[in-house]
Amino acid sequence: LTEIYSSSPALGRYFRSAQVISFSNESSTVTYQLLFSVPPSTEGFMENSMNPDFIRNILRQNIYDED
């Protein structure tokens, strides 16, 4: 995750770290926390760039690009 988000053209300059919060072998589920340093109030930044769907799609696109 660190490599994916730190190299992202859209979020790389804001990305600080990724940390695994919990891991379950039973269900193959990983919960992680992403830390971003966001600029002072910029109109639309939080609604657009820091939108959970947008962040998830960066990871999803990376997975598709590897295939």
| pLDDT of res. 35 | 93
8-50 confidence digits (pLDDT tens): 998 999 999 999 999 988 888 999 999 998 877 677 777 777 8
Full-prediction pTM beyond 0.75? Answer: no
Angle in degrees, CA 65, 46, 14, rounded to 5: 60
Cα distance between residue 67 and residue 64, in whole Å: 5
